[in-house]
Structure 1
Amino acid sequence: MTYHSHLDTSVKADFSQALLASLAPGGGLWMPDSLPFYTSEQTAKLGALPFWACAAELAQHSIDEAFDETALKSLCEDAYNFPIPMKTLQGAELDTAMTEVADEYILELFHGPTLAFKDFAARFMGRSASELMKSKGQTRTILVATSGDTGGAVGDAFLDQDGIRVVILYPEGGVSKVQQQQLCTIGKHNSNVQAVSLQGTFDDCQQLVKDAFADKGLSEKHNLMSANSINVGRVIPQSFYYFWTSLQIKAAHPGVPIVYSIPSGNLGNLTGGIIAKKMGAPIDRFVVGNNTNDPFVDYLKDGEYRPRPSVPTLSNAMDIGRPNNFPRILDLLDKDFEKVSELCWGASFSDEETERHLRRIYNKTGYIMCPHTAVGHLAMEAFSKDVERDFIKVTVATAHPAKFADSVERIIDTKIDLPDPLAKAMKQEKRVTSLAPTLDALSDYLG
C-alpha cells in the first residue's frame, strides 16, 4: 500500500517512510491511497482466526516489503498477547455458542500492559518502528503529546529500545493522579522514556509537537518521530479490533445491524473504525460521544467545523478542541458531509451528566466505567432513543476505571482495587520536568 498527503495527493510514501516521517512535507497527514475490501467469505475466515492472526492478515495490506509475512505474524503475536473481552453490564462475555445472547456489549480495550486502548496501536507501532530502525541503523527521538493514556502506552512500547529516546508531553494538572504517576515512572532513573509536564492544555502539547516537526533544524537535529495519532502507524492498527470484534458479534447475531459507540477526543479511534468498515467489517453506524469539548458533534449538526480552545473535564483524555484526525475522516468519506453524517451520529455530555450516569450504572449493575466509557455509553443510550429498529449496541471502553480512581471512587463511593501495574507505579518516585509551552523551552530541553 502507498500513502499520500491529505494536503497534496501527489506527495507519496510507503508505510516505512510514512511511519518514520510522521507527517508529510508541509504538515499533511498520511492517508492510504486505497483500502482492500474483504468479501463475506473472506471475513468469515478472518473472524475464525485469533485476534493477533487476524491483525497480521489485515496488516499485510498496510505495510511494505520491509516486513515479510513471518516477521509480521511474529510482531502481531507478540504485540497482542492480552484478551479483548466483550461483556454485558452483568459481566457475561460474548460467546458465539450461547443459546441466549444479549443485545448490548461493552468492548473492553483496556487489558493491555498500560490498561488503555492505546496499547493496541502503540505496541504495533513500537515494534514496527524498532524493526525499521534496527535495519537502518538509525536513532530517533519520539516526541509524543498525551492527554493521559497515549504517553503511557507509547512509553511502555518503546521502553529500553536501543537508539530511541521518548519524550512525553502532558498538560500540567490535565491528567488524573494515577495517569500522572504512570507517565512519570516508566522505566528506571536512566530510562530512555522522559516525562515533561507542560504549563498549558493538551492542545498546547499537541501544537508544540507540530511546531517541533515544522522546525526543520530541530526536527533534523533530533531525528524526530511522532507517536501521536498524527502518525498513520497509530491509526491503521486501530482498525484491527473493530474488524475482528464486529465479526465475532456478527457470528453471534447474524443479520442484525451492529453499532459502535466511541468516546472521542482526537478522533483516531473513530478513524480506525471507519477504515475497518471500508474494508468490509459488518458495522452499520458509529455513535460519537464527546464531553463539552465537542467540535465534531457540532459539525455533525450543521456541517460547520469550528475548532476551539479545550476546557478541562472529568473525561480528560477527550479534552481536545482541535482534533487532529478530523481531516482524515473527511478524506476517507470524500469530504462529503452527508456521508459523514449518515455514518456518524453524535452527542455531548457535561461532567454532571457523566457522573450521574456512571453512578447509576454502578448502582444498577455493579459495572464500573471510567468517565470516558460513561460518555460513550450515554451517547449510545441517546442514540437508541433516536432510532426505531433493533441493533446490537457496542460501547467502546477505552481505559480501566482504576486509572481515574480519584474521580471514580468519589462518584460511586466505593474503593477500586488497583491492578498490579498501577499499584507498582504508585509506589515509585516520579521523574518529571516542568516546561513552558514554547518551542524555545522544548528545544533547550531536548539539548
Structure 2
Amino acid sequence: MLSVLTNRTYRHLLAAQIVALTGTGLATVALGLLAFDLAGDSAGLVLGTALTIKMVAYVTVAPLAAAFAERLDRRRMLVALDIVRAIVALCLPFVTEIWQVYVLIFVLQSASAGFTPAFQATIPEVLTDEQDYTKALSLSRLAYDLESLLSPILAAALLLIVSFDSLFLGTSIGFVASALLVVSATLPSPKPKEPRGIYDRTTRGIRIYLKTPRLRGLLALSWSAAALSSMVIVNTVVIVRGDLDLSESAVAIALAGFGGGSMLAAFALPRLLDRIPDRRVMLSGATMATGTMAVAAILAATIPMTLGVLTAIWILVGFGYSSTLTPSGRLLTRSAHPEDRPAVFAAQFTLSHACWLVLYPLAGSLMTWFGSTVAMAGMATAAVLGLIFVIRVWPRTDAKSVVHNHPELPPDHPHLAGPKPHAHPIIIDELHPRIPLEP
C-alpha cells in the first residue's frame, strides 16, 4: 500500500490532507467548547445547528464551486480555499455572538465544499494506474479514521497547557501547511475542449452522475452507508451514557470500534479489489453492515447491551461502511473524462451529504422518541431500501465496452475511426448523452 508514496506529488497531497484533517479535528473539539462558552446548556442546539449549516453548505456550494473550478488553475484554487479556511479559523476565537459562529461555519464549510471534490478529483490524475489509485483511496480512508481517533487525544493534550481558543490557531496552521504542500506539487488542471455556459457547468456533474447506472448505484450505497453511520455518530453517546450509564471514556471506546473496523477494511481493500469486482465488494460490505445493524436491534430488544457487545457490533459496521464507500473514487474516475472529474466528484460530495442531511436528524429523532432498539431497526430498514435500489439500477455485468451506433454522426467523423463494430467503454458526454442500448 505504501508503494504509492514514491510518487512525490501524491506524497505531498497526502501530507496536505493529513495536516488539514488534523486541524479540522482540533476545530471540532474547540467548536464544542466555544458553543458551551457562548450558550451553556443550549450548546447541543448550537452544535446541531452548526452541523446542519455544514451539510447545507456542502449540498448547495459544491456544484457551484465545480462550475467555476474548470476555469481556474487547480493548484491556485486549492491554495486559495485553504487560505480562506485558515483565515476563518483565526476569526473563530474572537466571536461574541452565536450568529457569528453560524456565519463563519458557513464560510468555512463552503470553502471545504469547493476544496474537497477538486482535491479528490486530482488524485486519479496524479496516480493514473488503477492499482496505485486504489492504494491511495485506502490511505485516504486510513487518514480519516486516524484523525477521528487521534485528534481528540491531541486536543486533550494541548488543552492541558493552552486554552481552547488556541486550538483554532492549530486549525489555521494546519490549513496553511496544507496550502504550502499543495504549492510544492505540480498538479494537472484539465480544461474542457469547448467553453460551457454557467448552467451547463453547474449541473454537468449531477447530470453525468444520474445518467450513469453505476453511479446511481453508488448513490444508493451512499444512502445505506449514511443510514448506518448516522446511527453510530449520532446515538453512540446516548447509548453509552444514557442506556448503559457508563463514562465518557466508554463513548470513546465504542467509537474507536467503528473507526478500527473501518481501518481494517482499508488495509484489506487493495488486495480484495484486485480480485473481486467493485460492485460485489461494495454491495457485500453494505449488506454485512446492514445485517449487523439488524442483529444489533434484535440483541437490544432481547438481552442487556454491554460495552463489549456494542463495540464488537460497531467494528463490523465500520468494516462494512469502509468497504462500501472507499472504492467509490474508482467508480467516479472511470465514469468521467478528466475535465469532468471535479464536477462528478462534486456531485458525489453533494448527493452523499444530502443523504446525511436527511438521516442524521432521523437517527436522532428515532432514538429520542422510541429508544435504541427502534432506532437501530429503523436505520437498518433505511439501509435495506438503499440495497434494493442498488440491485435494481446497477447491472451485475457492468460492461467495460458497449457496441453501439452513432446515426447522428457522418461516417468520416473521427469518433467513428477504428475497428468495426464501433465499441468502447461508455462515459456520458456530448457524443454519449445517455447509455446506449446495444444494437
Same fold (TM over 0.5): no
RCO comparison, higher one (Cα < 8 Å, 6+): 2
Report the TM-score, using the length of structure 2 for normalisation. 0.27
Structure with a larger share of its residues in helix:
2
Q: Could you say which structure has the larger radius of gyration?
A: 2
